[in-house]
A and B are shown apart, each in its own frame.
Chain A
Amino acid sequence: MERHSFTPSITALLLLIPACALAAPDPPRQAQLQHLLDQDCGACHGLRMTGGLGPPLTREALAGKSRDSLIATVTLGRPGSAMPGWAPLLGPDDIRWLVDRLLQGKPAR
């Protein structure tokens, strides 16, 4: 898994996301991210995203939640819970792709 350096402020980048269309991760990166979603997000949220220590992230569970707030949660984490911020490890385009994947309903393996 490659690491992304991340110097500009997260908030500034988040604001930029709606303005300019960031490049979607290329297919090899998508495969890495899908693996991360299944295995590492799955460590807390379940391999099938049905929840565990972390809440369920199925399509039904996320219905009505805003995409921006989900992106912010993945980026910054959720203080007071076990959810860490992923900004030190993932770029904003990666996080956007992961959130979209969850909103589409991650297909069962």
Chain B
Amino acid sequence: MIRSLLSIATAAILLAGCAQPTLRGTGDLGVVVERASGSLQIIESDGRSLLARVEGLGDLSHASVVFSRDQRYAYVFGRDGGLSKVDLLTARIDRRILQGGNSIGGAISQDGKLIAVSNYEPGGVKVFDARTLEQLADIPATPLPDAGKRSRVVGLVDAPGQRFVFSLFDTGEIWTADFSNGPTPRIERFTGIGQQPYDALITPDGRYYMAGLFGEDGMAQLDLWHPEHGVKRVLGHYGRGEARLPVYKMPHLEGWAVADQQAFVPAVGHHQVLVMNATTWQQVDAIAVAGQPVFVTARPDGRQLWVNFAYPDNDRVQVIDTQTHAIVADLRPGPAVLHMEFTARGDQLWLSVRDGGEVQVWDPYRLERIGTLPSLSPSGIFFSSRAHKPGY
């Protein structure tokens, strides 16, 4: 009797065990954007493996991703205006909306409750409830003389104090939107910041917002501790006297770094990585590199930078020592390296090789490839550790 009861109990426990999937965390998970097929691969960095593919995410050319603070959900911003909330544990689309006609990126608020999306069409920023994707706010950008059009918005980041900061490409402005008093933001506008801001970065402490300019040399810097001081120009005239080279892909400022009290950013129209003193913001060096840099990504310990390049040099990656500014490795991972992502503690670097149809995992200390995973035209790689990194 007791034995049969025991066996029933065992069976019940086993059944319950079968009905529930094995518990796991999400801190080692990430996603790879498969840009041509509109799908997302879910990856894990611990065993360096593919877990699942999520399809039906629309046009993912130039897609970017942010993560919920519980690191369970990835918010995917698609080119076609799609905003998708993907559950990393079930590998399913939890919610998906088409919020605009043509979008470029997004951000999650300091408290994790708001998702902001920057749009080219209609030009502006829209803000959504992170749980339901219900729209909470619409911030149309400055109208253009062209009837009905508004400035395209780029360089959207989150900032401390429940703020979003972004730049207006066509009208040369930086705006801050403060949501600390609820869903109706307090907007502050800085005009005349420079021609054609194309992307922006925010320092890890959330103090300086810096927009790279395409229409002229330099960056526009806003001190968010002292917005009353207005926007200042840094790196003005860095290319003075040199012919500007064609730019076949716009650089990105995400992934940039302050390392050893220096800031490293891609030049535009010059095959250089620019180095600034991160206290005075004066240029201290220009490092000659293989082509037009796209991403200048620092290893989390700040000792080395990994740089990839625009077409036609996009088969190369160069590694730079941040102390000596010497190029310590010249790698050729494969055709069309689009993006590089470090694990949070920097033991691995993942990079996407679009035309090679693969994602490669590198040991960034030995500078050796340690793994390869198949992928369909991969572009961006995003680890869930971004959830706790302001500005990402």
Contacts and interface: CB of A to CB of B under 8 A. Distances in A.
Interface of A: 1, 3, 35, 38-40, 42-44, 46-48, 50-53, 77, 80, 82, 84-86, 88-89, 109
B35 A1 contact: no
Interface of B: 35-36, 59-62, 79-80, 102, 104, 120-121, 152, 169, 196, 198, 214-215, 246-250, 311-312, 336, 354-355, 377
A48 B312 CA distance: 21
A39 B376 CA distance: 13
Contact of B61 (A3, A52, A77, A89): A52
Contacts of B79: 46-47, 50, 52
A53 B247 CA distance: 13
B108 to A, nearest CB: 22
Contacts of A82: 196, 198, 214, 247, 250
Given A39-B377, A52-B102, A82-B250, A47 B312 contact: no
Listed residue (B104, B152, B312, B355) with the most chain A CB atoms within 10 angstroms of its CB: B312
B247 A40 contact: no
**A-side interface mostly:** loop
A78 B261 CA distance: 38
Contacts of B250: 43-44, 53, 82
A50 B247 contact: no
B246 A84 contact: yes
Which of A39, A48, A86, A88 counts the most chain B CB atoms within 10 A? A39
A52 B120 contact: yes
A3 B312 CA distance: 9
Given A46-B59, A52-B62, A53-B152, A84 B248 contact: yes
A57 to B, nearest CB: 13
A66 to B, nearest CB: 21
Nearest to A50: B102
B316 to A, nearest CB: 13
A39 to B, nearest CB: 7
Contacts of B80: 48, 50
A76 to B, nearest CB: 10
Given A53-B104, A53-B169, 13 more contacts: A1-B311, A3-B312, A40-B311, A43-B250, A44-B250, A46-B61, A51-B102, A52-B120, A53-B250, A82-B196, A82-B214, A89-B248, A89-B312
Given A3-B312, A50-B80, A38 B248 contact: no
A3 B196 CA distance: 30
B167 to A, nearest CB: 13
A51 B120 contact: yes
Contacts of B61: 42-43, 46-48, 52
Contacts of A50: 59, 79-80, 102
Given A47-B61, A50-B80, A39 B249 contact: no
A48 B152 contact: no
B246 A77 contact: yes
A68 B101 CA distance: 30
Contacts of B336: 39
A81 B152 CA distance: 13
Nearest to B79: A46
Nearest to A38: B36
Pairs of residues from A and B, 8 with the lowest C-beta to C-beta distance, nearest first: A84-B246, A47-B61, A40-B311, A43-B249, A42-B61, A46-B61, A46-B79, A84-B247
A32 B141 CA distance: 38
A9 to B, nearest CB: 17
Contacts of A38: 36
B101 to A, nearest CB: 8
A107 B67 CA distance: 34
Given A47-B35, A51-B121, A52-B120, A85 B246 contact: yes
A15 B60 CA distance: 39
Nearest to B61: A47
Contacts of B36: 38-39, 47, 109
15 contacts: A3-B312, A35-B355, A38-B36, A39-B336, A39-B355, A40-B248, A42-B61, A43-B61, A44-B250, A46-B102, A47-B36, A48-B59, A52-B120, A82-B250, A89-B248
B104 A52 contact: yes
A45 to B, nearest CB: 9
Nearest to B314: A40
A35 B248 CA distance: 15
Contacts of B104: 52-53
Given A46-B61, A47-B59, A88 B246 contact: yes
A82 B102 CA distance: 18
Contacts of A35: 355
